[in-house]
Amino acid sequence: AQSVAQPEDQVNVAEGNPLTVKCTYSVSGNPYLFWYVQYPNRGLQFLLKYITGDNLVKGSYGFEAEFNKSQTSFHLKKPSALVSDSALYFCAVRGALWDNNDMRFGAGTRLTVKP
Amino acid sequence: DAGVIQSPRHEVTEMGQEVTLRCKPISGHDYLFWYRQTMMRGLELLIYFNNNVPIDDSGMPEDRFSAKMPNASFSTLKIQPSEPRDSAVYFCASSQQGKHGYTFGSGTRLTVV
Q: pLDDT by residue (tens digit) across A45-92?
A: 999 999 888 999 999 899 999 999 999 999 999 999 999 999 999 999
Cα nearest neighbour of B59 on chain A? A102
Q: CA–CA separation, A50 vs A35, rounded Å?
A: 9
Q: Tell me the mean pLDDT in the region B35-44.
A: 90
Cβ-nearest to A105 among B43, B97, B106:
B43
- Identify the pLDDT of residue A53: 87
Contact yes or no for B21/B90 (Cβ under 8 A): yes
* Yes or no, beta carbons of A45 and B104 under 8 Å apart: yes
- Identify the pLDDT of residue B46: 94
pLDDT mean across residues, chain B: 93
- Identify the pLDDT of residue A106: 92
DSSP-derived secondary structure for chain A:
--EEE---SEEEEETTS-EEE--EEE-SSSEEEEEEEE-TTS-EEEEEEE-SS-SEEE-GGG-EEEEETTTTEEEEEESS--GGG-EEEEEEEEE--TT----EE---EEEEEE-
**Percentage of residues of chain B with pLDDT beyond 90:** 81
* Yes or no, beta carbons of A102 and B45 under 8 Å apart: yes
Q: Tell me the mean pLDDT in the region B15-32.
A: 96
- Identify the pLDDT of residue B107: 95
Local confidence band at A94 (pLDDT 50, 70, 90 cut-offs):
confident
Q: CA–CA separation, A29 vs B10, rounded Å?
A: 40
What Rg do the C-alpha atoms of chain B give, in angstroms? 13
Q: CA–CA separation, A112 vs A40, rounded Å?
A: 13
CA A13 centroid distance within chain: 17
Q: pLDDT by residue (tens digit) across A2-48?
A: 789 999 999 999 999 999 999 999 888 888 999 999 998 888 999 99
Q: pLDDT by residue (tens digit) across B53-100?
A: 999 898 998 899 999 999 999 999 999 999 999 999 999 999 987 767
- In chain B, residues with a C-beta closer than 8 Å to the C-beta of A32 are 99
- Identify the pLDDT of residue A96: 67
| Nearest chain A Cα distance for residue B105, angstroms | 6
